Structure 1
Amino acid sequence: MRQSNIGKTPPFLLILAMLFGCAEKGNLDYNFKTEDFEPHVIALSSDDFMGRMPFTEWEILTLDYLEAQFIELGLQPGNGDSFFQEVPMMSIISQPEEIMRIKKPGGEITLEGFRDYVLWTQRVDSEVKFEDAEIVFAGYGIVAPEYGWNDYENLDVEGKIVMVMVNDPGFGREETDLFKGNAMTYYGRWTYKFEEAARQGALGTLIIHDTEPAGYGFNVIQNGWNSAKLYLDSRGSEMYRPVFEGWVTLPVAKKLFDMAEMDAEEMLGNARSSAFQPVSLGLKASSSINVTVNYAQSKNAIALIEGKSKPDEYLIYTAHWDHLGIGKPDETGDSIYNGALDNASGVAALLALGKAFQSNPPERSIVLLMVTAEEQGLWGSAYYAKNPVFPKEKTLANINIDGINHIGKMRDVSVIGVGQSDLEDLLEDELQKLGRYSAPEPTPSAGYYYRSDHFNFAKIGIPALYFGTGIDHVEKGKEYGLERQLDFTMNHYHKPSDKFIPGEWDLDAALDEIKLYHNIGQRLANSRIWPQWKEGSEFKSVREAYMKR
């Protein structure tokens, strides 16, 4: 943990102070008020917006609201004369058969959909099915040459189902001799598992769900049962798409190992070694999925505060405007996934920042980018990264907001993905001015650096900063702060109970966090330097390949 050392200035902060020396001008003393933030959270997370699901009438309502706020604040359109960037997408409703039949010579069992597994497809046929497809256990499903790891070595998975573990082999290890230890790499993300299986030509993929290494309960997976999933429009693409993607519960996976007369704990343990060899379970699976496809446009919302002396250099703030819409009712019968913290609060913060920057524009331009379909796979930011409105060579950094502290005043903030860029040093400097400090995220095994929109900026080399609410509560300490974080993850994350409750949100703490985001942006937008990736970051070489500075 990197705590501030009052009275002593670390060498890297002295260097930072020199680099950002000209950045003290600007409106650093802007006074954020409750009315800059709270009304937007209340509106966007209200039942009137029905969970802000893309491809619905409530997307239109959300975008109309954002455009009206941009105009009222006096912001400029960010895409030519428009506040929007169209994102061509497709909505695929997968309706799996209610059972999956698993058989072996001399025996057969039936798995129950939703309870035991969740399936979907990216194919656009009216029906997809698999019959007597062989199941192969491929460990973690990772091909990582830099770690000397290949779970698919000498394995032909064409026409087969691969069953793989969630997270990566370093999970649960404090030492970093295996991948990055307990800090998840991108190889641990479920999105990577599906991508790699597709590259290998697998017929389908089943990820074994385990709550601790996944970072969330199976109920989060179940939210996708029989529901629409959004993807970028793939028409004209030659990319291979497996018949299905999906998850099985850990108890079901153990049942399959038992059926194959294999020791489940031994097999799962063996997968943590680079010497692991994939193995067929000798089981055959059959099921089907009915498919309904709709092609349409969603939209990113973009507003601009033009810089005074360097208008062609851009700092991009991001937050996703979408949430999950209408879904499975909770125990109270509520089926509206309002998404107050996730991420009406982030969008409201951007609107507050827009008001502040517009009141006294900095030297470089500020871009407020509110992206679509984050909840469906970071698609809005992925489309922007492939089709940037502002050149990546002219974009100095991305600062992403995916939730604002509403728990209470904290001494710390949690840096997501420690050791990536020197934006972390700037954050630390701003925090020390406040007598606060930055600390690594409390659950690095959850891989949050790969789970929000900044990741798509990082993938194209743009230094990206993402931090969240800390755990060191000023009045009640770390145990209380961590307890509140875990409570949200387990009981409110992606559930109808993620609501704005007047009187329960600490708005002073929220405004403190927005002020921090503002001060970091002011320092960057009034400086001469370009943030850099740190040595060892997997994104450093990407940036260096196209920057000729």
Structure 2
Amino acid sequence: MSGTAGTQGECRAEKETEEEIIQRCISHLDTDYSCRLAKQMEREKTNPVLGFRTAGSHAEKATGDFLYEEMRSIGLTEVQKEEFWLDSWTFERAVLRFKDSSGKEYTCQLGAYQTNFETDGFQEYELVYVGRGTAADYKNLDVRGKLVLADINQRDEWWINYPVYQAYLKGAVGLIAVQMQGYGEVDQEALNAQDIAGPEYAPAFSISRRDAALLKDRFCENEKSVMVELDACSRVERNRPAYNITGKIPGTETDQMILLSAHYDSYFDGFQDDNCAVSMTIGIAKALLESGYRPRHTIVICALAAEEWGVCDSKYDWSTGAWNQVFRIHPEWQGKVLADLNFELPAHAHSSRDAIRCTYEYADFLKKFADEIAVPEDAYPDGLTVLAPIETWSDDFSMAIAGIPSTVNDFSAGPFMETHYHSQYDNEEIYQENVYRFHHELYTRLLLKLDTLIFPPLDFSHLFRKMHSSVSARMAEQDEEDLQGVMQTLIRETEQAERTAEELYEWIEKSQIVCPVAAKSGEDISQRLLGIFRKGQDYFVRLNWQDEVLFPHEAASNNICYLNQAVQALEEGEIEEALKALYEVDNNCYAFLFDEEVYYHFTEYILHQPKDRLMWGAGRILHHENLYGIVKRLRKLESQQAEHGQIPDLEEEIRRLQAAQRRQRAYLTDDIRYMTESVKKMQKMMEASLQEIKDYRIE
């Protein structure tokens, strides 16, 4: 007979109910402890004025040592400093000195990006204002050997790497950027920092809007530059050690694990991002230990280094510590970890409704869990919801693609990201104890719920439903019979896979609560289920050029749609409308704004770079449609049309775009066939796991 015969109470003979166990653990939660720990993490910094605890720096390492000792002091076992190698960044200072319009000397602090720039004390430079820093902004300007000042809006326009590399190519010694909108909007004095996603040899700093305004007052029609003095030390070093800090509460029944993770590097002081998250994971662990809770599965606390940055000249230069943890340090974790609960900015309400963001496969389990949670109205008046899939903003993405089902408290949609995020205003003044307390309790409950399970609660039907819906919508847009045929085949396969996945999940749910003697026998099945999950990540998780998660066919499908719009617009003589469509194809949005070498650098470094420098982004973008030349030509023709009032001959441009359409259709056909074969493979794996679970329960 199956080892699952009997209830949990009969098997474990527990004196406490499940809710009593939860309440016992929750009663030991101490948000005051967690908050104090978050503040203590601010002690180590590389810049004595602004903070900064950056990848591989002495401040990050010292903070890791502090967390190591704290984990040991609360009673975690096997506490380790787990070494990996990265590109380190140390930002010691950047102070700008100049005279304002009244002749008064003025000194201001600058922020910095992960680039090299060092002076021996204050050094004099000529500073040139270059508007938004595009190629056209340099017309009639000589910036060789000079600093340049540029306005940026990274949230709504282009990333910092574009104007920085443009400045480098023009011969500037460095760029000073002011965030006019998008980030750091909380105050005119706010500085902002982001990952550079570019080469370390193109230097960059940031300046507040208030200080930039004082500089801009100096520029006039006859005065295009001003003299400034800069004292700076920003140093990048390739191939340096860093450390993830881990500690465990050993499991009593299985070798499976549940992770709690957060990152301990930061820009500025990083109170919300991510001190409060690290301290919350340790606070939850402390409460479990003090309550005497003995977990079924091993609970692992992961304080991860280098989330904000860690690799030079890569579009995917963040989440370095997490990627290394599961792909290099502990690849054997794949297949053993039921879930990673990752945390970002958990002591602030980013919306009136809280959300757990997760992989598609955990959405059903988490929705049922969330429906049972009483959410305090003073924290989240609109309650709690579940969102899927995960995004690339945080460490949970690296965990997921390694085959570890992951979640994160959703943080990216609220106004905080535009106001306080990555600025010196991320501090205890925006601490919300009621939110922090709720998250301590919510994720303690979730952790304990997961600990009652033998199998990962993977519902693959959610994945196939989303895929089916996406492919069906795209099929209606295609007018080629052969392409519609291969898409229809994929739809049939996803329908069959969805049915199998639904049955498999039913059996997973029926088999979750088991006796201790049966726990070990279920681990092989659990490992194979996690293997199916990993294959799904490999087969179906792709990214677009804006780092959004999508299915493999969606990139080419989107491109075909926009190319069709562009061709139709040109056939009607509407160049402006054609350009609007072309800007949506891959990364061609900035093709007309920067020099061709800028465009090529930030295209080629995704398509042709070693996988270890692309990390979690490796292989997630497979195709690229280069429209740089045709965009530039169409913009020139648009100007001629405006000047002469005549529609130019556009036949050549139409033919080129039609060739691009054919290429994208070929890509789409290949992608659909690849997805079809991948669905078939997953179908076979699910069928095998389904039979195993049935055999597990029925003699």
Smaller-chain TM-score range? 0.5 to 0.7
1:61 Cα offset (Å): 3.4
> Secondary structure of 1:98's partner?
strand
Q: Is residue 2:346 matched to residue 1:404?
A: yes
Q: CA–CA distance in 2 between the matches of 1:199 and 1:307?
A: 56
Q: Tell me, which stretches of 5 or more residues in structure 2 are unaligned? A: 1-10, 46-52, 312-316, 375-382, 458-528, 553-615, 621-677, 683-699
Q: Which residue of 2 aligns with 1:62?
A: 67
- Tell me which of 129, 154, 161 is aligned to 1:167: 154
CA contact (8 A) 1:414 1:440 kept: yes
Q: Which residue of 1 aligns with 2:206?
A: 246
Q: Is residue 2:373 matched to residue 1:368?
A: no
Relative to structure 1, the CA distance from residue 377 to residue 152 in structure 2 (aligned partners, 3 Å threshold; closer, same or farther) is farther
TM-score, with structure 2 as normaliser: 0.45
Q: Is residue 2:26 matched to residue 1:85?
A: no
Greater per-residue strand proportion: 1
Q: Is residue 2:280 matched to residue 1:287?
A: no
1:188-207 pair list within 5 angstroms:
188=159, 203-207=173-177
1:4-43 pair list within 5 angstroms:
30-31=21-22, 32-38=25-31, 40-41=33-34, 43=36
1:159 Cα offset (Å): 5.6
CA contact (8 A) 1:44 1:62 kept: no
1:165 Cα offset (Å): 1.5
Q: Is residue 2:516 matched to residue 1:516?
A: no
Letter in 1 for 2:304: V
CA contact (8 A) 1:217 1:490 kept: no
Q: Is residue 2:363 matched to residue 1:413?
A: no
TM-score, with structure 1 as normaliser: 0.54
CA contact (8 A) 1:140 1:169 kept: no
Q: Which residue of 1 aligns with 2:5?
A: none
CA contact (8 A) 2:244 2:321 kept: no
Deviation track 1:51-82 (CA, whole Å, cap 9, x = no partner) reads: 4545356654333112333xx24x444xxxx3
Q: Which residue of 1 aligns with 2:245?
A: 301
1:429 Cα offset (Å): 3.9
Identity over aligned pairs, percent: 12
Relative to structure 1, the CA distance from residue 354 to residue 42 in structure 2 (aligned partners, 3 Å threshold; closer, same or farther) is closer
Relative to structure 1, the CA distance from residue 383 to residue 345 in structure 2 (aligned partners, 3 Å threshold; closer, same or farther) is closer
Relative to structure 1, the CA distance from residue 157 to residue 28 in structure 2 (aligned partners, 3 Å threshold; closer, same or farther) is farther
Deviation track 1:213-237 (CA, whole Å, cap 9, x = no partner) reads: 4454354428x9xxxx999xxxxxx
Relative to structure 1, the CA distance from residue 523 to residue 210 in structure 2 (aligned partners, 3 Å threshold; closer, same or farther) is farther
Deviation track 1:448-475 (CA, whole Å, cap 9, x = no partner) reads: 966644466579897753224799xxxx
Deviation track 1:19-59 (CA, whole Å, cap 9, x = no partner) reads: xxxxxx99975513232444641551466x66454535665
Q: Is residue 2:289 matched to residue 1:348?
A: no
- Tell me which of 319, 323, 332 is aligned to 2:262: 319
Q: Which residue of 1 aligns with 2:487?
A: none
Q: CA–CA distance in 2 between the matches of 1:544 and 1:91?
A: 26
Q: CA–CA distance in 2 between the matches of 1:359 and 1:199?
A: 60
Q: Which residue of 1 aligns with 2:178?
A: 208
- Tell me which of 282, 294, 307 is aligned to 1:359: 294
Relative to structure 1, the CA distance from residue 517 to residue 122 in structure 2 (aligned partners, 3 Å threshold; closer, same or farther) is same
Q: Is residue 2:320 matched to residue 1:382?
A: yes
CA contact (8 A) 2:38 2:271 kept: yes
CA contact (8 A) 1:305 1:354 kept: no
Letter in 2 for 1:319: A
Letter in 2 for 1:511: E
> Secondary structure of 1:434's partner?
coil
1:399 Cα offset (Å): 3.3
Q: CA–CA distance in 1 between the matches of 2:171 and 2:448?
A: 46
Q: Is residue 2:378 matched to residue 1:391?
A: no
Deviation track 1:405-434 (CA, whole Å, cap 9, x = no partner) reads: 5779x9841357x9x755555543431343
> Secondary structure of 2:344's partner?
coil
CA contact (8 A) 1:131 1:286 kept: yes
1:139 Cα offset (Å): 5.9
Relative to structure 1, the CA distance from residue 536 to residue 526 in structure 2 (aligned partners, 3 Å threshold; closer, same or farther) is closer
Letter in 2 for 1:394: Q
Q: Which residue of 2 aligns with 1:132?
A: 126
Relative to structure 1, the CA distance from residue 61 to residue 470 in structure 2 (aligned partners, 3 Å threshold; closer, same or farther) is closer
> Secondary structure of 1:167's partner?
coil
Task: Count the aligned residue pairs.
Answer: 421
CA contact (8 A) 1:199 1:240 kept: no
Letter in 1 for 2:90: S
Deviation track 1:97-139 (CA, whole Å, cap 9, x = no partner) reads: 422799xxxxx98884427x65677326443957336543346
Q: CA–CA distance in 1 between the matches of 2:307 and 2:155?
A: 23
CA contact (8 A) 2:244 2:305 kept: yes
Letter in 2 for 1:61: F
CA contact (8 A) 1:138 1:163 kept: yes
1:359 Cα offset (Å): 2.2
Letter in 2 for 1:382: T
Relative to structure 1, the CA distance from residue 486 to residue 166 in structure 2 (aligned partners, 3 Å threshold; closer, same or farther) is closer
> Secondary structure of 2:67's partner?
helix
Letter in 1 for 2:323: A
CA contact (8 A) 2:396 2:407 kept: yes
CA contact (8 A) 1:98 1:113 kept: yes
CA contact (8 A) 2:154 2:182 kept: no
CA contact (8 A) 1:322 1:372 kept: yes
> Secondary structure of 2:296's partner?
coil
Greater per-residue helix proportion: 2
Q: CA–CA distance in 1 between the matches of 2:409 and 2:214?
A: 37
> Secondary structure of 1:205's partner?
strand
Letter in 2 for 1:209: Q
1:355 Cα offset (Å): 7.0
Relative to structure 1, the CA distance from residue 35 to residue 355 in structure 2 (aligned partners, 3 Å threshold; closer, same or farther) is closer
Q: CA–CA distance in 2 between the matches of 1:340 and 1:52?
A: 16
Deviation track 1:466-504 (CA, whole Å, cap 9, x = no partner) reads: 224799xxxxxxxxxx99999998999533546797xx7
CA contact (8 A) 2:319 2:398 kept: yes
1:212 Cα offset (Å): 5.5
> Secondary structure of 2:66's partner?
helix
> Secondary structure of 1:122's partner?
coil
Relative to structure 1, the CA distance from residue 282 to residue 303 in structure 2 (aligned partners, 3 Å threshold; closer, same or farther) is same
Q: Which has the higher contact order (CA 8 A, sep 6+)?
A: 1
Q: Is residue 2:371 matched to residue 1:432?
A: yes
Q: CA–CA distance in 1 between the matches of 2:618 and 2:266?
A: 35
Relative to structure 1, the CA distance from residue 120 to residue 257 in structure 2 (aligned partners, 3 Å threshold; closer, same or farther) is same
> Secondary structure of 1:242's partner?
coil
1:317 Cα offset (Å): 3.1
